[in-house]
A = this chain, B = another copy of it.
Amino acid sequence: MSQQESPSQRTTIERIPQRGSYESEIIYQILDEGLVCHVGFVADGQPFVIPTAYGRIDDTLYIHGSPASRMLRFLQQGIDVCVTVTLLDGLVLARSAFHHSMNYRSVVVFGTATLVQDSKQKLAALKAFTEHVIPGRWQQVRSPNRSELAGTLVLSLPLVEASAKVRTGGPNDDVSDYELPVWAGEIPLQLNMAKPIADSGLHPQIDVPAYISNYTRPKATR
């Protein structure tokens, strides 16, 4: 994210259907690998940026929260949002301070979030939240009961106005800087799982299931 490659220099937003399926595929891969999105909205003229979990079903993004949530209360009125997911892939070290950068993949989605009223669609979204984070988990755990369903607001956002930005590779140094005796290249970054920590109340005979011990995020080809 150097001066040259800042994600802020995004191209004009286009509608996904007008572009090739390749672009949609990249957008979906980034959304599926990410765990947290940043939801931007305007309240009383003031911008807010709130991190939250999300899920995707086909070309719809879902976010959820408590009816008491300030963000969700605002958003359910059907206001414009900007939802951004950023995956940091590496630090790019150049021979000059100026050309330092970051490798990343990001998706920016614009649209109007609307409240999911249909209970079947709501349950499908809740399943998508869980399966997005830990595939295989939904069928293992107790499903939401009626009061939990009622106590969850789910908002949907169509993945229509969305764009992806990707930076890969090493530094782009000035030609004259290549002779400098400075290490240059990339430090790749990875989000890794450490050893799972069992809940203190867990029955000792319950082992860590394979879908947890083998846990990784889906990795797209970069």
* Interface residue ranges, A against B (CB under 8 Å): 1, 3-4, 6-10, 35-36, 38-42, 45-53, 64-66, 68-72, 80-84, 86, 88, 91, 93-98, 100, 102, 104, 106, 108, 110, 126-127, 129-130, 133-134, 137-138, 140-145, 148, 151-152, 170-171, 173, 177-178, 180-203, 206-209, 212, 215
Give the distance to chain B from A50, nearest Cβ to Cβ, in Å: 5
The one of B10, B80, B152, B192 that contacts A192, using a Cβ cutoff of 8 Å: B192
In the complex the two chains form, is A102's CB within 8 Å of B35's CB? Answer: yes
Instruction: Give Cα A182–Cα B207 distance, bound, in whole angstroms.
Output: 9
The one of B45, B70, B71, B212 that contacts A42, using a Cβ cutoff of 8 Å: B45
In the complex the two chains form, is B6's CB within 8 Å of A66's CB? Answer: yes
The one of B65, B97, B137, B142 that contacts A141, using a Cβ cutoff of 8 Å: B97
In the complex the two chains form, is A190's CB within 8 Å of B189's CB? Answer: no
Q: Which residue of B lies closest to A5 (CB)?
A: B66
In the complex the two chains form, is A96's CB within 8 Å of B191's CB? Answer: no
- 15 A-B residue pairings within 8 Å (CB atoms): A1-B36, A6-B52, A8-B65, A8-B72, A38-B40, A46-B110, A47-B82, A49-B84, A93-B134, A97-B137, A97-B141, A142-B180, A181-B206, A187-B194, A189-B194
Instruction: Give Cα A65–Cα B4 distance, bound, in whole angstroms.
Output: 8
The one of B10, B64, B137, B171 that contacts A93, using a Cβ cutoff of 8 Å: B137
Residues on the B chain within 8 Å of A39, using CB: 8, 49
In the complex the two chains form, is A192's CB within 8 Å of B189's CB? Answer: yes
In the complex the two chains form, is A187's CB within 8 Å of B198's CB? Answer: no
The one of B7, B36, B185, B199 that contacts A52, using a Cβ cutoff of 8 Å: B7
Residues on the B chain within 8 Å of A188, using CB: 193-197
Q: Contacts A36-B1, A194-B188; is A47 near B81 (CB within 8 Å)?
A: yes
Q: Contacts A3-B66, A97-B130; is A171 near B194 (CB within 8 Å)?
A: no
Q: Which residue of B lies closest to A202 (CB)?
A: B184
Q: Contacts A189-B194, A193-B188; is A93 near B48 (CB within 8 Å)?
A: no
Residues on the B chain within 8 Å of A203, using CB: 181
